[in-house]
Amino acid sequence: MIKILGLLTLSMLFLSGCLLQPFRKVQRLVRSNSTKAEFYAWSNAMNFNKDELDFHKRMNAWMMKEGVYKLDRPQADYPRDHLITHAWRAGDCDDWSSMFMEASYQVGYESFLMTVDSFHTVCIFKQDGLYYHNSNYKGVRGSYESLKDIAKSIKVDYKTYTLRDRQLKVIK
């Protein structure tokens, strides 16, 4: 009798788990869409005066107040999805920079990721002919005349830097 009850309980748990799978998928979808909507609303709220430099300063101030630096595992050091970084309010330099870059894109600004010697990643943007970078530990810095000047400001004895677009494709 106990064996039959145990098997019945196990089969009910299995069936309920199978039946709940579609519901869980819908739940995840709704959660990701609300996160997406929250992110876009946040991006637009940061850009209320339509000045890119001010926009980056506002994002960085929010990150310093609300966010936490959290180093990825060494084997997984690539930019996390911007929605996850925004929702968790945690990440390392490439995660925060990727989120800054995506927020810039959402409000109509062009920005890129720059990684210097696999040492540090920043979000770079250009305003009035000068380059600036938004960094999770130095804030918004600028104005630089060239990308090499930004690389030197991050690491004085840098050897190389990589520039990536929104799809993380190497530009330079």
pLDDT digits (tens, 9 = 90+) for 3-44: 444 444 444 444 444 444 443 443 444 445 557 888 888 888
Q: How do 111-116 and 90-91 pair as beta strands? A: unpaired
Chain Cα centroid distance, residue 46? 16
pTM, rounded to two decimals: 0.74
Cβ-count burial of 2 within 10 angstroms (0-12 exposed, 13-18 middle, 19+ buried)? exposed
Tokens 């929104």: give the residue: 166
Burial class from Cβ neighbours inside 10 Å (0-12, 13-18, 19+) for residue 29 reads exposed
CA atoms within 13 Å, Cβ hemisphere of 74 = 1
Question: Nearest 10 degrees: CA dihedral of 79, 49, 138, 62?
Answer: -70
Residue 33: predicted pLDDT: 57
| Predicted local distance difference test score (pLDDT) of residue 13 | 40
Residue ranges and CATH numbers for the domains of the chain are 2-164 (3.10.620)
Contact 24, 16 (CB under 8 A): no
Residue keyed to tokens 């530990």: 137
Q: Comparing 30-44, 59-73, 81-95, 147-161, which segment has the lowest mean pLDDT?
A: 30-44
Beta strands in the chain (DSSP E): 68-69, 90-91, 111-116, 120-127, 130-135, 139-144, 161-164
Structure confidence by residue, pLDDT tens digits, 146-172: 999 999 999 989 999 999 999 989 998
